[in-house]
Structure 1
Amino acid sequence: MSVPLARLLAAVVALLLAIAPTVGAPQADAQPVPKQFLQIQIDTVSPDLVTTTSDPLVTVTGRIRNIGDRPVRDVVVRLERADAVSSSTALRTNLTGNVDQYQPVADFITVAPELARGQDVPFRLAYPLRAAAQSLSIDQPGVYPVMVNVNGTPDYGAPARLDDSRFLLPVLGVPPADADGSPADTGSVDSAVPPDTTRPVAMTLLWPLADRPRLAAGAPGETTPVRLIDDELATSLAPGGRLDTMLSAVDFATGPAVDPRGELARAVCLAVDPDLLITVNAMTNGYVVNAGPEAGRGTATYPGAGRQAAIDWLARLRAVAARLCVTATTYAQADLDALHRVGDFGLSAIATRGAADIVAQILGVPVTRGATLVGDGPMTAGTVQLLSAQGPTVAIGAADLSGPQDGDGSRPQTAEVSPVRYTPNVVAAPFDPAVGAALASVGAQPESPSYLSASLDTPLKQDSAVARRQDALGAMLWQSLDPDVTPRTQLLVPPLMWGLSGDDAAAVLSAVGTAIRSGLAVPRPLRAVIDEAAAVHGSAELPSGTTGNPRGRFDDGVVSGIAATTGRLWGLTAALGTDERTGLTGAQYTAPLREDMLRALSLSVPPDARAGLAQQRLTTVSATVTDLFNAVTIVNPGGSYTLATERSPLPLALRNDLPVPIRVRLDIDAPPGMTVTDMGEIVLPPGFLPLKVPIEVHFTQRVAVDVALRTANGLPLGEPARLSVHSNAYGKVLFIITLTGGAVLVLLVGRRLWHRFRGQPDPADLDRPDPIEVALAFPDDPAADTAQPARTTAGPRRAPTSRGGPGD
């Protein structure tokens, strides 16, 4: 195609697209184009909670920004609303997807004739709650979905709905208003529509104080100062930080100045992570921070900056906890379903039953016991089975809730939140997952909990913080405003890693307080929740947990690795004793490593990062456990031993580099001919311990003796040592020969002495020549001369023989 022809066709297409916007006005039901050109940012919604005393004018302000690759002309915006929410799923489905349920409040208004790339423009929409025309037409309390709809015409395109932003508007009461929508005068106060308070909801709010695991992995109990993987906790505890904001907000809202009757205080219970308390308490004594990645053991460190912030925050928490309900989360917010797959009873006990003891000890206050917070994961059969093995408890977790794509989609569904007993030990007190997900969307880092069905998920990143806050307020209050919803109880369980701003925290606590003061709700302490649930009888099928999102599930490799490492650690701990000098016990020494296994299973980590961080922590702890086993060993002399006798002891030296004693056994592989006395169980204190092992050898040679060290329950310690042993002892054959020769010698000597004492010649000497004859035969031999006296004194002379005559 030639260049002039291509240019001509492009001009024609551009002309047709330019003419197209004049064909008709923007349509509310126009579908968004595939590529996003505009983005709405809602800055304010006033009032955020509508009451009978509120301004009857609802005002929404914000900005519209061109985020596309071309200019957009004729940018127009209008406000629309849907009917009041009447089900749990509607809290989610009204915020995404289809817009057919929305009706316009008023006509479109133009906010910009043209919006260039990167340019933004403000908008303000203000309409009365109810009036004859151009109003929200809300005349009854309820939670109403509201949408800001923006249309425009992109270059080379047609008019379309280019973006929308939706939020929930809670209307606790309709304020009085004149026919034109303006505030009514005092004479018209009867036109106000109050809420139905005949069936208030018993409301309980868990206020989480938790954080991601910050203690560096692989540090046993005596490590000082403690190491943190980063110093973000110092920022969080300092004024203006996340944890400071969470504590300050609940302290202020439940204080006597704001809550003089203590109604909100009775409805609120602090849910505190024991791992956070351990970390903050350790920070008060000074700490260091890893300068490198967490997995790098022995990495460089630098001093932490949050010691004073930790001291101040912990002191404030103790003061607030002294007047509010306090309960414990699972340790490090561990995933109970994954922990069940690990299959370690002791580790499960630390995560559940042991958590309250830690909170009570550090805060010095009574802790509400009897409840287990399942956390941000779904309630599964494995979770129930784990809790059942730990004893009676009330499991607080998300109820099953199917979205339109999970079921037939014919009608909205409401979560079933009535208590249900699964086993004799476990009864569940469910909360509405749609409400929990709405609470999780509030804050600077919104997340969708893994217990929420994927079909009920909404795109959180594009919504403004104000819109997400409105969604949370509406989700919290919709059940109170609908008297037909049963049961009339409500558990508000936000995510444990809740990252609220000061305004967000104040709005949430104010909404609960307003509902209680208006008669829509009554406070229900957590202890009442536990007692009422525990009274439920029956036996339901174990939950399937299939409606949750599998994203973030810990894989089998991590689970099996944690099981193996934990098993080795328990075996070592069983052999450790108590150091009398310091009072440190073996269980205290290895406790941080077991807790590391729970930190590896923490649900506080974003789902996409869980597997990697869990494997990283597991690798570090496994290496540390191996080092602990290798810290107890046999000192190899590197030379050879020489045994002087058959019962010479075998000298050995044992070394214990652990700070606590350990009970060990020697395993000596003796060669044939060597017998080793079993020394039994040996208590090996820290340092060196010389030993002399009783042995008995029956050979004379050089042999190799293998010596290994094991714990009292048979786990190998350190590296085996091979000793070179040389024995000078007699063997059995030589011993028998020597003994026989000695016996013969004794007999011969005895016989000679016997004949000598009787004056008889020894028969053994009869064949010897006569000394006199020897002397005569060798007259010049001095030996003959000297022999004669000896022969004379030796005994009687030998009788003459028949040889020779008398002349001889």
Structure 2
Amino acid sequence: MVFTFLAAVVGTLLGTALTTAGPAAAAPAAPPWPAGLTAAHLTAAHLTAPDTDYSTRLTFAVSSIDPTVVTAGGPATLTITGTMTNSGPEDLVDLSYRIQRGEALRSTAAVHDEIATPSEPVARVPSGFEPIAGSLAPGASAPFAFTAALTGADGLDIRQPGVYPVMVNVNGAVVLANGPLEARIGELHLLLTVLGVPGSTAPTPTGTPTPFNFVWPMVDVPHLGVDGVFLNDDLLTAISPGGRLATLLDSLTGPTMSTLPAGALTVVLDPQLLDELNRMTGPYRVVAPPGASQPPLSAIDQAAAAATSTAPPAATGSTAPSTNPSGDPGDAGALDIPGTVAGTGQQVAASYLTRLRAVAQTHPVVLLPYGDPDVVALVRAGMTGEVTAAQEHGREVARQVWGDLASVSAGDPTSTTAFPIDGASDGATLSTLMAGGARTGLLSQPSVEVPADAGGRPASAAVIATDQDGPGLPTVVAQTDVLGGLDKLITDHQPTGWATKVNALTALLAQQRADGTATPAVFAPTRRWSPDSAALGGLGQLLGELTRSSMIVGAPLATLTQGAQQTGTTDYPTAARDRELSPQYLQRIATDRADLAALRTALTSVSQPADPATVLDPLDAALDAAASTAFRTDPTVGEANLATVESTVQGIRSGVQIATSSTNYTLASSSSPLVLTVQNSTAYDVPVTVQLTGGEMVGLTTTDQPVQIIPAGRSQQVKIPTEVTRSGQFQVTATLVGPDGLTWGDPVQLSVQSSAYGALTVILMAVAGGVLVVMVALRIRQRLRGRRARIAAAAQGTAGPAGPGSADAGGDGHQDQPGDRRGDRPQERHSDRLVAESVPSPGPSPVPTPGPTPTPPAKATHQRSDQRQDFRS
């Protein structure tokens, strides 16, 4: 031993010196190690690396640990089997192993610490290694079987009962460029539970049995599309022999689980699994080929209509065909729907459903909300109605499939226990679940804060406060970490195998019994766990052995919640929040639900020739499971169902359109109505009004109009009263709007031509005409006054006042005014002058002036007077 230790130290120091020396001290590079190296190529000069440098090169998948519990009458040899894999880039050769053990752990807390951070046990270290045949290339795997004697100096030397840490230490040589390097290349950490030393006659130590309950999820992913069509036939595979759900049910009904104490097992069931199994017992349709989209609901309606037309006439006449008239979920499966094939799993589903009912009559059942929705994410998104609807839908499905829940379940009404995924919740979600009927809870230790009891033991049940005033929710605290989250039982960063989880479970239960704490233990695997039949068989044997050894006793959840004395609060983990459905996906569900509700309100507001529920109810049912936790990792089915809901709702709304054969309209007068044709290609009478937008800016307004009922499958003209305030051509948009304010069809652009004067135009014309009349009247009045003034002045022999219209002001007594007729003015001037000359001037006669004799004035006057008379005649 000392020589080995010294050799290792010297080898380590020598290797360090060679790797840290400068270029001058470095040995010449050796050629790459030849491929296919075996143990025969190794020499005694190989170097040894530190234990931690290559200790993770081998990864282990453990398939069995025998014995699971060491007893006085059991086998005396520990055997561990499984598969090991070379996860590094170099070959591994000269493999060997030894099994080391440590001192017995002293408390349950020490067992938890060992599970979380495995130690290197050195209480018993064999002096030699056992060889492992063969070598491992990079990425290669090989089976292993590690063995060690449980007693004796050449074995693990177990002498007392207890829980012992055990490590399988695998050594080998890592083939590097400069040669092989010996190193520890793998570590496998386990816990060895010893209730009795093999071959010993000493009595097995006694203790207080641990109240125990194992939560057994029977939850699958959704497979159902819309209106009874299955999007795939994966459920048939799951319930067939060898399938995941078949394996779980076989173990529940097998002989090993029958030895469990009463109340030690609780079944968790998703009602959607019941729904799908029930549908599969009759004719059902599956989308084909696999991965194709679901046929539209119109194809299902057509298939139903075709089936109705070939069937004998019913006794009572009715309306449009229904895909599911009787409410039997198998009715739609009998239709010949394009894009689907007939399902073939009737017998398998019927058998499975019968056996599942027998399990529910034997063990208590926790019934989840329908589809196992992501309840915390829904509540956080403000969609509490989805949670409550899923709770009620789940109870309804269970009643339809199983009848009275109380007569089926072995425990209390099964829908009253709140068990969100991973056992994680916040206060608001607990309040929502309680409002929907939850009376007890099942949460995990990482998601609650509960003070330890006086002995420092974690509480197994507590009253968890919610975000509402009240007594809180009596809750069982499950140890989900034991079976759902161990990362270091095999190797760092590697997923744990089922055998190692059972190994840890055994150790915890045994140590609790040895401590005498009797703290109840509730273990809950992940929702969609997938153990194989061998692992479940081992689990059943383990629980049976623990029961026979008085290590565990059954503790129903209802009993544990009755003993809840401490108070606690929720502590929703960040990791759980990161796994939730995305807000964008949840918003899509909320939008689809609102659109569907609005469509239902619109169609049910009037009498219908066909029942809208035949289409709308399947859409609602599809949304009930759209927020399933299964869609966290694979949303294919959820997104496919949302797409079907959206396309169906949009298809109905787009079935009512404004005819676009002609979008040019002419209004003959200012109050002419705009007449549009509305076409309805749906099977329902649709109430709508037509809204015009864009006309306000161009002088086109409409008055409120009543709701128009557009008959199913017909066209109807709609008159829209309008008022036009100007003529011309302009564009407006016409939209069909339902009573709920949502649109039907697509908006249509209309070109409107108006040839009539509007009220504003008429007013402007009237005002302009009035102004013109006033101006003419003023002009006539002005001319009359001027003429009277001149006549009066002539009669008096005076020139009249100077100013406008007098001779002094303009030579002829008149100023030109706009609108004068220039042809009349010369005659007026001659007439005025003649009148003036015919009046004798007063005063003395002028003195004659010598000169030529002028033309006699009277003659000229008479000539002009004659001309005027001729003119007037």
Category of TM-score, reference length = shorter chain: 0.5 to 0.7
**Mapped contact 1:87–1:414 kept (Cα < 8 A):** no
Deviations 1:460-512 (A, max 9, x none): 7565553344334445x3465244446x3232211110112112223334433
CA root-mean-square deviation: 4.9
The structure 1 residue matched to 2:147, chosen from 125, 131, 155, is: 125
The answer to whether structure 1 residue 394 and structure 2 residue 422 are counterparts is no
The structure 2 residue matched to 1:347, chosen from 386, 395, 412, is: 386
- Pairing of 1:272-311 with structure 2 (within 5 A): 272-284=269-281, 285-289=283-287, 291=289, 293=291, 304-311=343-350
**Mapped contact 2:100–2:122 kept (Cα < 8 A):** no
Aligned twin of 2:870: none
How many angstroms apart in 1 are the aligned matches of 2:741 and 2:383? Answer: 20
The answer to whether structure 1 residue 594 and structure 2 residue 616 are counterparts is no
Aligned twin of 2:741: 714
The answer to whether structure 1 residue 73 and structure 2 residue 94 are counterparts is yes
CA 1:123/1:499 → structure 2, altered by over 3 Å: closer, same or farther?
A: closer
Aligned twin of 2:462: 419
Deviations 1:655-685 (A, max 9, x none): 263x777665554669878866643485x77
Deviations 1:518-577 (A, max 9, x none): 4333323343345555xx585x4442424x466534444434444444443443344443
CA 1:630/1:456 → structure 2, altered by over 3 Å: closer, same or farther?
A: farther
Tell me the secondary structure at the aligned position of residue 647 of structure 2: helix
Letter of the 1:595 counterpart: D
The answer to whether structure 1 residue 269 and structure 2 residue 300 are counterparts is no
The structure 2 residue matched to 1:209, chosen from 211, 215, 218, is: 218
- Pairing of 1:247-258 with structure 2 (within 5 A): 247-253=249-255, 258=258
CA 1:688/1:57 → structure 2, altered by over 3 Å: closer, same or farther?
A: same
Aligned twin of 2:172: 152
Tell me the secondary structure at the aligned position of residue 214 of structure 2: strand
Aligned twin of 2:483: 439
How many angstroms apart in 1 are the aligned matches of 2:141 and 2:348? Answer: 42
Aligned twin of 1:324: 363
The answer to whether structure 1 residue 48 and structure 2 residue 68 are counterparts is yes
CA shift for structure 1 position 580: 7.7
Aligned twin of 1:523: 554
CA 1:462/1:492 → structure 2, altered by over 3 Å: closer, same or farther?
A: closer
**Mapped contact 1:81–1:136 kept (Cα < 8 A):** no
**Mapped contact 2:118–2:189 kept (Cα < 8 A):** no
Letter of the 2:713 counterpart: F
The structure 2 residue matched to 1:688, chosen from 713, 722, 747, is: 713
How many angstroms apart in 2 are the aligned matches of 1:695 and 1:62? Answer: 81
Aligned twin of 1:174: 196
How many angstroms apart in 2 are the aligned matches of 1:355 and 1:500? Answer: 26
Letter of the 1:528 counterpart: T
How many angstroms apart in 2 are the aligned matches of 1:353 and 1:425? Answer: 24
How many angstroms apart in 2 are the aligned matches of 1:89 and 1:551? Answer: 31
Deviations 1:1-23 (A, max 9, x none): xxxx9985538999999445599
How many angstroms apart in 2 are the aligned matches of 1:542 and 1:116? Answer: 49
CA 1:98/1:491 → structure 2, altered by over 3 Å: closer, same or farther?
A: closer
How many angstroms apart in 2 are the aligned matches of 1:681 and 1:427? Answer: 53
How many angstroms apart in 1 are the aligned matches of 2:357 and 2:392? Answer: 21
CA 1:158/1:537 → structure 2, altered by over 3 Å: closer, same or farther?
A: closer
CA shift for structure 1 position 243: 0.6
Tell me the secondary structure at the aligned position of residue 266 of structure 1: coil
**Mapped contact 1:566–1:597 kept (Cα < 8 A):** no
CA shift for structure 1 position 101: 4.4
CA 1:370/1:569 → structure 2, altered by over 3 Å: closer, same or farther?
A: same
Letter of the 1:167 counterpart: L
- Pairing of 1:21-32 with structure 2 (within 5 A): 31-32=51-52
Aligned twin of 2:4: none
Tell me the secondary structure at the aligned position of residue 164 of structure 1: strand
The answer to whether structure 1 residue 545 and structure 2 residue 573 are counterparts is yes
CA 1:549/1:583 → structure 2, altered by over 3 Å: closer, same or farther?
A: closer
- Pairing of 1:10-21 with structure 2 (within 5 A): 10=30, 18-20=43-45
Q: TM-score, normalised by structure 1?
A: 0.68
Deviations 1:199-226 (A, max 9, x none): x33322222111122335xx4x4xx5x0
Deviations 1:154-213 (A, max 9, x none): 343444321122233344x315x5xxxxx25xxx3xx1214313xx33322222111122
Tell me the secondary structure at the aligned position of residue 620 of structure 1: helix
Aligned twin of 1:748: none
Letter of the 1:192 counterpart: P
How many angstroms apart in 2 are the aligned matches of 1:20 and 1:483? Answer: 51
CA shift for structure 1 position 346: 1.7
CA 1:467/1:660 → structure 2, altered by over 3 Å: closer, same or farther?
A: farther
The structure 2 residue matched to 1:679, chosen from 706, 714, 721, is: 706
Tell me the secondary structure at the aligned position of residue 369 of structure 1: helix
The structure 1 residue matched to 2:130, chosen from 98, 110, 120, is: 110
**Mapped contact 2:659–2:679 kept (Cα < 8 A):** no
CA 1:12/1:594 → structure 2, altered by over 3 Å: closer, same or farther?
A: closer
CA 1:254/1:96 → structure 2, altered by over 3 Å: closer, same or farther?
A: closer
CA 1:85/1:232 → structure 2, altered by over 3 Å: closer, same or farther?
A: farther
Tell me the secondary structure at the aligned position of residue 75 of structure 2: coil
The structure 2 residue matched to 1:196, chosen from 192, 207, 227, is: 207
**Mapped contact 1:254–1:264 kept (Cα < 8 A):** no
How many angstroms apart in 2 are the aligned matches of 1:371 and 1:48? Answer: 33
**Mapped contact 2:211–2:552 kept (Cα < 8 A):** yes
**Mapped contact 2:737–2:743 kept (Cα < 8 A):** yes
- Pairing of 1:777-796 with structure 2 (within 5 A): none
The answer to whether structure 1 residue 471 and structure 2 residue 482 are counterparts is no
Tell me the secondary structure at the aligned position of residue 466 of structure 1: helix
**Mapped contact 2:461–2:560 kept (Cα < 8 A):** no
CA shift for structure 1 position 588: 1.6
Deviations 1:402-433 (A, max 9, x none): 9xxxxxxxxxx975433132122742625344
Letter of the 2:370 counterpart: Y
CA shift for structure 1 position 238: 0.8
Aligned twin of 2:528: 497
Q: TM-score, normalised by structure 2?
A: 0.63
How many angstroms apart in 1 are the aligned matches of 2:436 and 2:32? Answer: 76
How many angstroms apart in 2 are the aligned matches of 1:680 and 1:115? Answer: 84
> Gaps spanning 5+ residues in structure 1: where?
178-182, 403-412, 441-447, 737-808
The structure 2 residue matched to 1:512, chosen from 543, 547, 553, is: 543
The answer to whether structure 1 residue 370 and structure 2 residue 381 are counterparts is no
Aligned twin of 1:746: none
**Structure whose CA Rg is larger:** 2
Letter of the 1:239 counterpart: P
Letter of the 2:443 counterpart: G
Letter of the 2:371 counterpart: A
CA 1:634/1:618 → structure 2, altered by over 3 Å: closer, same or farther?
A: same
How many angstroms apart in 2 are the aligned matches of 1:696 and 1:67? Answer: 80
CA shift for structure 1 position 236: 0.7
Aligned twin of 2:236: 234
Letter of the 2:286 counterpart: V
CA shift for structure 1 position 151: 1.8
**Mapped contact 2:424–2:573 kept (Cα < 8 A):** yes
